[in-house]
Chain A
Amino acid sequence: MTPTTIETPSARPGGLKLWLERYPFLPALIIVVALLALNGAFSPNSLSYRSLTGLLSTYMALIMLAIAQTYVVSAGDIDLSAGATLSLVNVAIVVLMEKWGGGTGAVVGAMICGILLGLACGVINGIVVAALRLQAIVATFATSIFFTGVALYIMPVAGTPAPALFWRTYGGRLLGLPFIFYVLAALAVLLFLLSRTRLVTQLLAVGDDQQAAYQTGLPVVLVRIKGYALCGLFSALAAFCLTGDTASGDPLVGGKMTLYSVAAVVLGGSALAGGWTTVVGSLLGALTIGLVNSLVFFMGTPSEWQNFVQGLAILLVLMAGVLAGRRARA
């Protein structure tokens, strides 16, 4: 019996393909650079140090949420409740900080509670999806409504302000550098450490082929639950950034960010089917969305046309990224 697959194309990946395998976020990086250049062309001022740090602190919440989404997408799952988790953590920490008096102790205590809350939301999602085997899209959509309900119970109306200590720190400077840079650096270290964990490799193996991972002897259910827990954790971090940026609580703030986070994951070069993801790409994908929005603003688009242009621009970027990726990987 000779091989059944007679001729499989030769295994040597070409130069470009090899690069993309090692750095799958390259197309996203090129797009970000191009968008920066376009922003600069329409408004040179938008490339100033000040507006770039502003952009970063505004979109850091989306960056965190996109990274949160990336970990569940790695395992071939999806989390449509990430935005709702963000809202829940946002209102919870604002209420707690207010209740505890707004001092340093209150802020730290509230943040610890926020992280635990985010983790809890993630574990609930993980149990519902992986252990109870419900469809990820529908199940996390349902939990998102549930989390929103809890958030509305905690804070029925938006507007409770966060303590000044919290948002002044986030928007301010530390040792002469904008605080957001420290956030970015801490994030980079965290992502680097996570990328070396056994969990991330297991998540990717599960996303690659769940049946194969099970047959290999991986604890598939547990791995997927941990993926959701990681997603909950980063959703909580996203909530911190958002609270720092908006300086207030809003029980519905995260709702529309969920699908933006999914879009950012795809724009970054990850495969939504799982097994092939890049957190750096998701970071760049979130920045892409931010830059498209600011570009639409700087182009002076009339307000009634802004959504139209934004949608179109994201579609174009998505097409460019997909085409580039397909050409190189084929």
Chain B
Amino acid sequence: MSKLKLNGVSKAYGATLALRRGDLEIAAGEVHVLMGSNGSGKSTLCKIIAGSVRPDGGEILIDGRPVTISGPQSAREQGIGIFYQELSLAGNRSVEENICLAMLPVKAGLFIDRSALKARAARYIDLFSEVSGDGFTAETLVGNLRADQRQLVEIMKALASEAPILIFDEPTSALDRAQVERFFGILRGLKRDGRGIIFISHRMDEITAIGDRVTIIRDGETIKTLNLSETDPATVIRLMVGGAGDMPASQSSAPAVANFSTGAAMTVDRLSGVGFRNVSFEVAKGEILGLGGLHGQGQSAVLRAIFGAGSITSGEIRIGSDRFDAKKPRDAIRRGCAYVSGDRGRDGVIAGRPIIENVTPIHYLRDRLMIARPSSLRQKAMPALEAMHTKFASLMHPINSLSGGNQQKVIIARWLIDRPDVLLLDDPTKGIDLSAKADLFALIRQLAADGLGILLYSSEDAELLGNANRILVFNGGSVTRELTGEDRTRYNLYQAAYEAA
């Protein structure tokens, strides 16, 4: 009998279907790997099992009995423990407190039983004692730990649940070899105990080392479950990519090889900073340079650093032949650099203010405008908004009255009043609908044709393949591969992204 079974579980956020149909069966004593590209629904699936996301439909069975998981607490009571990809730690609490946080041992029903807590935490800390590194003690505050050590604490916390079903959502992304080996040793022990384990990783070698079966998720749907012993990595990648994997991407009408005699719009030379190192490239005027790879491999960090919103430790950036070192976004904007982020709430929208105020801030800054007259501003704002086919009732309506896609159009429009030389797009289509995406990319190509240099990072590979003239694949903070011309295929992009570094 299966330990855990999901039948047709689904979840939508507004209009976006995060998980269309999730079917999954976990047997006792197996490590079941989930594979799928960015945003294919793996994490949503895990969070549904762990109770932190409520499914819209479908059923969940544990040991053959249908169950309702109403929240993380209820999941725990049903015997589910989880390692969260984004970690669920309290930075100001100690390692031992974090490990036991879900079930703090108490005496007299009120006071924390320190010695019981210490003893319980020590059991899990000892499992990793040889590999946890310097400065890792039971009393250390989690906020003082390195990234890999924090990840270990999250692993210990998941193990401490002693749950029969354990979920590990990318538990190894920051760990080194020895730590991974140790962790896998523990997983094998849990397997022998008959626990059911769900495991997500992007490292193919780890998956073959620890996994028994693999389920592939594509576009929010579980496609197929395979025995790992009877398959090979190429088959798995092909399934993740879908049927069209080997087709070249250039058919989607991106100019395959553009002739850039116009010179470089921006040159980046051996740039290093927090989250990326030794990144060099040149983007020509009129070129769309794609940044690809798995999520969080340094693409956003590079873009933010160029825009002056991140930190640069070494290397240099040139616009034309001049050095361009933006200390602050303000400098970058004044010197003709534009940045559009997919995280509109954080980096774009001025919430609750009228559309006109959301279109004009860059204009204020670049023209050093002191006094604004609405009528003249309107004349400048309207063409920019129309270029994007933005739908809105009036310029005075608050921006929140627009859909996500139209909000993003307004944000992009603000950069069009005074043309920049370089446009940095940091996953600009996150959470916007298909027609808005089409409008957006039509405009981006138009801007490139007008001679802007464009850097495009997208978490959707199709967008990169369909629009970028060249693609730099990021892995672990540096560029590991450049795809040009006929090489720009889904298959190559995946392979480069999933390569063990």
A residues with a Cβ closer than 8 A to B are 1-8, 10-13, 21, 193, 196-199, 201-202, 204-205, 208-209, 211-219, 275-276
Q: Is B112 within 8 A of A209, CB to CB?
A: no
Indicate whether B106 reaches chain A with its CB closer than 8 angstroms: yes
A193-B111, A216-B102, A276-B92 known; A1+B501 contact, CB < 8 A: yes
How far is B62's CA from A119's CA once the two chains are assembled, in angstroms?
A: 42
**Chain A nearest CB, measured from B388 CB (Å):** 33
Residues in chain A near residue B276, CB distance under 8 A: 6
Known contacts A6-B275, A201-B104, A204-B93; is-contact A216 B72 (Cβ 8 Å) = yes
B210 within 8 Å of A (CB atoms): no
Contacts of A208 in B (CB 8 A): 90-93
Q: B141 and A21: CB pair below 8 A?
A: yes
Could you give 26 example pairs across A and B, Cβ below 8 Å? A1-B476, A3-B173, A3-B176, A4-B174, A4-B296, A6-B275, A6-B276, A8-B146, A10-B134, A11-B145, A197-B110, A197-B111, A198-B110, A201-B93, A204-B92, A209-B88, A212-B84, A214-B71, A215-B52, A215-B82, A215-B88, A216-B88, A216-B101, A216-B102, A218-B73, A275-B90
Q: Which residues of A contact B21 (CB under 8 A)?
A: none
For residue B290, CB closer than 8 A to chain A, the reply is no
The interface residues of chain B lying within 8 Å CB-to-CB of A10 are 134-135, 146
Residues of chain A lying within 8 A (CB to CB) of residue B110? 197-199
Asked if B148 is an interface residue, CB under 8 A from chain A, the answer is yes
Query: Which of B101, B147, B500 is within 8 Å of A205, CB to CB?
Result: B101
A215 touching B111 by the CB < 8 A rule?
Answer: no
B72: chain A residues within 8 A (beta carbon): 214-217
- Is the contact region of chain B dominated by helix, strand, or loop, or is it mixed? loop
Bound: A17/B164 CA distance, A: 41
Neighbour of A1 across the interface among B84, B148, B500, CB < 8 A: B500
**Which secondary structure characterizes the binding site on chain A?**
loop
Q: In this assembly, does B202 line the interface, its C-beta being within 8 Å of a C-beta of chain A?
A: yes
Residue of A5, A11, A214, A215 near B135 (CB, 8 A) is A11
Q: How far is the CB of B156 from chain A (nearest CB, A)?
A: 13
Taking a contact as CB atoms under 8 Å apart, the answer to whether A204 and B90 are in contact is yes
Residues of A contacting B157 in the complex (Cβ-Cβ under 8 angstroms): 216
Q: How far is the CB of A195 from chain B (nearest CB, A)?
A: 10
Give the number of chain B interface residues (Cβ < 8 Å). Answer: 56
Decide if A209 touches B294 in the complex (CB within 8 Å). no
Indicate if B407 sits at the interface (CB-CB under 8 A). no
Picked from B90, B149, B298, the residue with its CB within 8 Å of the CB of A209 is B90
B297 part of interface (Cβ distance < 8 Å)? yes
* B144 adjacent to A11 (CB under 8 Å): yes
> What chain B residues lie within 8 Å of A218 (beta carbons)?
73, 101-102
Task: Name the one of B89, B134, B274, B296 contacting A12, with C-beta atoms under 8 angstroms.
Answer: B134
B304 within 8 Å of A (CB atoms): no
B131-185 contacts to A (CB < 8 Å) = 134-136, 140-141, 144-149, 157, 173-176
Is B287 an interface residue, CB under 8 A from the partner?
A: no
Q: In the bound complex, do residue B501 and residue A2 qualify as a contact, i.e. CB atoms below 8 Å apart? A: yes
Q: Which residues of A contact B50 (CB under 8 A)?
A: 215
Specify which of A2, A213, A276 is in contact with B476 (CB 8 Å cutoff). Answer: A2
> How far in angstroms is the closest Cβ of chain B from A83?
28
Q: From A206, which residue of chain B is reached at the shortest CB distance?
A: B90
Q: How far is the CB of A283 from chain B (nearest CB, A)?
A: 20
Judging by beta carbons under 8 Å apart, are B274 and A5 in contact? yes
Residues of B within 8 A of A213 (CB): 88, 90, 101
A198 touches B147 (CB 8 A): no
Contact partners of A214 in chain B: CB under 8 A: 52, 71-72
CB atoms of B84 and A215 under 8 A apart: yes
Closest to B81 in A: A217
> Chain B residues with Cβ under 8 A from A11's Cβ?
134-136, 140, 144-146, 149
CB within 8 Å for A3 and B147 given contacts A198-B110, A201-B97, A217-B102 = yes
Chain A residue at minimum C-beta to C-beta distance from B75: A217
- From B114, which residue of chain A is reached at the shortest CB distance? A196
- B141: chain A residues at CB < 8 Å are 21
Q: Are B274 and A6 in contact (CB under 8 A)?
A: yes
**Is B213 among interface residues, defined by CB-CB distance under 8 A?**
no
B384 nearest CB across to chain A (Å): 35
How far, in angstroms, from A204 to B202 measured CA to CA in the complex? 34
Residue in chain A with minimal CB distance to B295 = A4
Contacts of B106 in A (CB 8 A): 198
The minimal Cβ–Cβ distance linking A278 to chain B, given in whole angstroms, is 11
Tell me, in angstroms, the Cα distance from A295 to B72 when the chains sit together.
Answer: 53
Report chain B residues within 8 Å CB of A5: 147, 174, 274-275
B203 adjacent to chain A (CB < 8 Å):
yes
Question: Do residues A202 and B135 form an inter-chain contact, with CB atoms below 8 A?
Answer: no
Contact of A198 (CB < 8 Å), options: B52, B90, B104, B140: B104
* A-facing residues in B68-122 (Cβ within 8 Å): 71-73, 75-76, 82, 84, 87-93, 97, 101-102, 104, 106, 110-112, 114
Residue of A nearest to B313 (CB): A7
User: From residue A14, how far is it (CB to closest CB) to chain B in Å?
Assistant: 11
Q: Are B90 and A4 touching (Cβ within 8 A)?
A: no
Which of A12, A197, A211 gathers most chain B CB within 10 Å? A197
A3 engages B174 (CB within 8 Å): yes
Q: How far is the CA of A197 from the CA of B500 in the complex (A)?
A: 46
Provide the bound-state CA to CA distance between A112 and B353, in Å: 51
| Distance (whole angstroms) from the CB of B414 to the closest CB of chain A | 29
Query: Is A275 a contact partner of B149 (Cβ separation < 8 A)?
Result: no
CA gap between A5 and B275 in the complex, in Å: 5
Q: B466 contacts the other chain (Cβ, under 8 Å)? A: no
Q: Mark B6-33, 1 if CB is under 8 A from A, else 0.
A: 0000000000000000000000000000
Q: How far is the CA of A42 from the CA of B89 in the complex (A)?
A: 49
